Chain A
Amino acid sequence: MIVPILKIGKNLIISIQIPLTDQQARQFQREVLEEVARTEAFGIIIDITAMDVVDSYMARILSETAIDVQLMGARAVIVGIRPEVAVTLVQMGRGLGDVATALNLEQGLAKLEKMDARKGAGHGS
């Protein structure tokens, strides 16, 4: 696995610690989706606190992954986007679309929790 995927309860936590090449990013996307399918997770959190630079390709992979996860019936939250990364992405005109984001892992988990409460028990199994 290119990035370790940790399962906590019904959620998966994925923390990207190293910069990924385009090829690695695609592999990452594939592995995350496979893991979501395998574990039937309710939600995933992608933590990018360690990423100083997020290029437009990586941004696309991240938002694509989040949308794919949603299509599979799970929820996705991207956390730990640094202010400078956020500014760069917005200025490039490349936001993350409608993907849910949170400041840190803690708030991300809280956000998933809220989604859980709102959407009822229909997801995750």
Chain B
Amino acid sequence: MAKKRKSTEEELRELHRYTRSLIEASPDMMVTFDRDSLIMDVNQETVDMTGVSREKLIGSPFKQYFTDPETAHQAAMLVFEQEKVKDLELELELIDHKGDHIPVALNASVYRDAAGKVVGAFAIIRDISKRKKAIEEVQRQQGEILELSTPALRVWEGVVLVPLIGTIDTRRAQQVMENLLERIVSTESEVAILDIAGVPTMDTKVAQHLVITAQAAAMLGAKTIITGVSPSSAQTMTKLGLDLSRLTCKGSLSAGIREALDMLSLKVVESNGE
């Protein structure tokens, strides 16, 4: 084989070239820095991203390429402290060659010499702007869905209706409560109807939230009527032993609306034809 004929020195050089080429080819930025967080080595991607030449990068402080140098310095120090950091909680933003701020994730660990002494830290910095944008988009949509899924309707003067549809988790229950209270204030309502016909399962938390909502509404001077309590929901609520004496419950929404009108001393009468 041709390889055998090569000298050891040549072999070493080739190995070095190979490892170096891998580092240089990395699509993530790779940086090594010392205990004073001065950069010791960088790869091509780092040069491309920052737009700063390799000569200038090496020897310069690691932190100066970030929007918030203090946090970056803190991150660098953390690496030496913990010896290995992954998906650091700290939010870092790199300043790129166009002056744009790029959100990045930092994975780093210390590396050692042959004697096992820590020589420096090796950091992989990944551009997460796309991921971040996607997350933000999801969060925005979640907020929108939440907004859409908890409408508070004014069905009559002094009556607001909140139809609950779908599974209710703690976050949504909180949103329902806030929405309802806000609507009570803005419409100056005296009665609030919570229709839970569309809620498939009732658990402790949801039931508790209903009670809390009713109590909070009572403080604003509004009475709460719960409608659409299914047989299974009713069983759950009694089994949980919650104090429901303050809640007015009605089987159907129409019965609830009738009750609400009753509370306001209003009556629906037949017109007896023209």
Determine if chain A interacts with chain B. yes
Residues of A at the B interface (CB closer than 8 Å) are 78-79, 81, 83, 85-87, 89-91, 95-96, 101-104, 107-108, 111
User: For A86, A87, A104, A111, which residue has the most chain B Cβ atoms within 10 angstroms?
Assistant: A86
- B181 with A103: CB separation less than 8 A: no
User: For B178, B217, B220, B222, which residue has the most chain A Cβ atoms within 10 angstroms?
Assistant: B220
- B221 with A102: CB separation less than 8 A: yes
Residues of B at the A interface (CB closer than 8 Å) are 177-178, 181-182, 184-185, 188, 190, 212, 215-222
Residue of A with least CB distance to B218 = A101
Report chain A residues within 8 Å CB of B218: 95, 101
Residue of A with least CB distance to B190 = A107
Report chain B residues within 8 Å CB of A111: 221
Report chain B residues within 8 Å CB of A86: 181, 215-217, 219-220
- B181 with A87: CB separation less than 8 A: yes
Report chain B residues within 8 Å CB of A101: 218-221
Contact A95 B190, CB 8 Å, known A83-B178, A103-B184: no
- A90 with B188: CB separation less than 8 A: no
- In the bound complex, CA of A87 to CA of B218 (Å): 11
User: How far does the Cβ of A108 sit from chain B's closest Cβ, in whole Å?
Assistant: 8
Report chain A residues within 8 Å CB of B217: 86
- A95 with B221: CB separation less than 8 A: no
Count of A-B contacts judged by CB separation below 8 Å: 53
User: For B178, B185, B222, which residue has the most chain A Cβ atoms within 10 angstroms?
Assistant: B185
Contact A81 B220, CB 8 Å, known A91-B212, A104-B188, A107-B188: yes
Chain A to chain B contacts (Cβ below 8 Å), 16 pairs: A83-B185, A83-B220, A86-B219, A86-B220, A87-B178, A89-B216, A89-B219, A95-B215, A95-B219, A96-B219, A101-B218, A102-B220, A102-B221, A103-B190, A103-B221, A107-B188
- In the bound complex, CA of A89 to CA of B182 (Å): 16
Residue of A with least CB distance to B179 = A83
Closest 7 CB pairs of A and B: A83-B181, A102-B221, A86-B216, A86-B219, A90-B215, A103-B221, A81-B219
- In the bound complex, CA of A87 to CA of B181 (Å): 9
Residue of A with least CB distance to B182 = A83
Residue of B with least CB distance to A114 = B265
Residue of A with least CB distance to B181 = A83
User: How far does the Cβ of B220 sit from chain A's closest Cβ, in whole Å?
Assistant: 5
Q: Which of B177, B182, B215, B222 contacts A103 (CB 8 A)?
A: B222
- B188 with A103: CB separation less than 8 A: yes
Contact A103 B216, CB 8 Å, known A83-B178, A83-B182, A87-B181: no
